[in-house]
Structure 1
Amino acid sequence: MTDLSKKDQLYGLIRANPFISQQELAVELRLSRSAVAGHIAGLMRERRLLGRAYVLPDSRPVMCIGAANLDRKLRTLAALQMGTSNPASAEEVFGGVARNIAENLARLGVPAALLTVFGDDAAGAALQAHAEAAGIDTRGSLRLANTCSGTYTAVLDERGEMVLALADMQLYDALTAQFLAGRAPQRAAAALTVADLNLPLEAVAALLADALRDSVPLVLVAVSQPKMRHLPLDLRGLHLLILNRGELETRVGHALPDQAAVREASLAVQAQGAQHLIVTCAGAGVYYSCADGVAHLPALEVQTVDVTGAGDAFAAAVCWSLYQSSGDLKLACRRGLKVAAMTLESDATVSPLLAPDVLDEIHSFDLSQPISTFFPLD
Structure 2
Amino acid sequence: MLRRWTSILQRRGVSTQRISRLIHDSVFKVHPSVSEALAENKPVVALESTIITHGMPYPHNLNTAKEVEAFVRAQGSTPATVGVLNGRVHVGLSEEDLDFLSCGSGLHKVSRRDLAYAVSKGLSGGTTVSGTMIAAHHVGISIFVTGGIGGVHRNGESTMDISADLTELGRTPIAVVSAGVKSILDIGRTLEFLETQGVCVATFGRSRHFPAFFTPQSGFASPYNVADSQEAAELIDCASSLGLQSGLLVAVPIPEEHAAQGQEIEDAVQVAMKEASMKGIRGKDVTPFILQRVSELTQGRSLQANMALILNNAKVGSQIACALSDLRRRRRAPESPPPQKERALPPQPQTVVIGGVNVDFIAKGNTEKLLLGQTNPGSVLQCFGGVGRNIADCLSRLGEAPLFISAVGTDSHSDAFLGYCKHMNTSAVAKIQEQRTATYCAVITKTGEMSLGLADMDIHQQITTQYVSRFEEELSSAQLVVLDGNIPVSTIRYVCSVAKTNAVPVWFEPTDVEKAKKPFLSESWKALTCTTPNLVELCAMNQALGLPTPDVLPKTRDEVLSCAASLSRPLLEHLSCVVVTLGSLGVLLCGEHVDGGVRLQLRPRSALRKGRLCAVHYPAVSIPPEDIVNVLGAGDSLAAGLIAGILQGQDADFCVRMGLLAARLSLSSPHPVAPSLGTDTVSPQGVRSVAWPSPTFLWMDHVGSQ
> Normalized against structure 2, the TM-score is what?
0.44
Alignment of 1:91-170 (within 5 A): 91-131=381-421, 133-134=422-423, 136-170=424-458
Q: CA deviation at 1:361?
A: 4.1
Q: Is residue 589 of structure 2 the alignment partner of residue 265 of structure 1?
A: no
* 1:346 partner letter: S
Q: Work out the CA distance in 2 between the residues paired with 1:361 and 1:227.
A: 32
Q: CA deviation at 1:368?
A: 4.5
Q: Work out the CA distance in 2 between the residues paired with 1:236 and 1:57.
A: 29
Aligned to 1:325: 649
Aligned to 1:69: 358
Q: Work out the CA distance in 2 between the residues paired with 1:62 and 1:43.
A: 15
Q: Is residue 637 of structure 2 the alignment partner of residue 313 of structure 1?
A: yes
Structure 2 contact 346–401 (Cα < 8 Å) conserved: no
* 1:280 partner letter: T
Query: Per-residue displacement from partner, 1:89-109 (whole Å, max 9, x unpaired)?
Result: 111111101111111111112
Q: Work out the CA distance in 2 between the residues paired with 1:46 and 1:348.
A: 40
Q: Work out the CA distance in 1 between the residues paired with 2:346 and 2:694.
A: 33
Aligned to 2:664: 341
Q: CA deviation at 1:178?
A: 2.4
Aligned to 1:284: 585
Aligned to 2:462: 174
Query: Per-residue displacement from partner, 1:60-112 (whole Å, max 9, x unpaired)?
Result: 43211100110011111223112322223111111101111111111112112
* 2:635 partner letter: G
Gap change, CA 1:361 and 1:148, over 3 Å in 2? same
- Structure 1 residue matching 2:672: 3-state secondary structure: coil
Gap change, CA 1:209 and 1:330, over 3 Å in 2? farther
Alignment of 1:1-378 (within 5 A): 45-46=10-11, 59-78=348-367, 79-131=369-421, 133-134=422-423, 136-233=424-521, 234=523, 235-253=525-543, 254-255=549-550, 256-257=553-554, 258=559, 259-271=561-573, 273-291=574-592, 292-303=613-624, 304-326=628-650, 328-362=651-685, 368-378=691-701
> Normalized against structure 1, the TM-score is what?
0.80
Moved more, 55-64 or 313-322: 55-64
Gap change, CA 1:43 and 1:164, over 3 Å in 2? closer
- Structure 2 residue matching 1:261: 3-state secondary structure: helix
Q: Work out the CA distance in 1 between the residues paired with 2:676 and 2:345.
A: 29
- Structure 1 residue matching 2:371: 3-state secondary structure: coil
- Structure 2 residue matching 1:351: 3-state secondary structure: coil
Could you list the runs of 5+ residues in structure 1 that have no partner in the other structure? 1-37
Structure 1 contact 242–279 (Cα < 8 Å) conserved: yes
Aligned to 1:24: none
Q: CA deviation at 1:251?
A: 2.1
Could you list the runs of 5+ residues in structure 2 that have no partner in the other structure? 14-38, 40-343, 544-548, 593-612, 702-706
- Structure 1 residue matching 2:427: 3-state secondary structure: coil
Q: CA deviation at 1:199?
A: 0.9
- Structure 1 residue matching 2:532: 3-state secondary structure: strand
Q: Work out the CA distance in 1 between the residues paired with 2:675 and 2:638.
A: 15
- Structure 1 residue matching 2:428: 3-state secondary structure: coil
Aligned to 1:29: none
Gap change, CA 1:74 and 1:361, over 3 Å in 2? closer
Q: Work out the CA distance in 2 between the residues paired with 1:376 and 1:276.
A: 15
- Structure 1 residue matching 2:442: 3-state secondary structure: strand
Q: Work out the CA distance in 2 between the residues paired with 1:91 and 1:367.
A: 29
* 1:355 partner letter: G
* 2:363 partner letter: L
* Higher alpha-carbon Rg: 2
* 2:640 partner letter: A
How many residues get paired?
Answer: 328
Query: Per-residue displacement from partner, 1:207-260 (whole Å, max 9, x unpaired)?
Result: 222222111121010101122232224321211111111211222243441221
Moved more, 96-105 or 354-363: 354-363
Fraction of identical pairs, as percent:
28
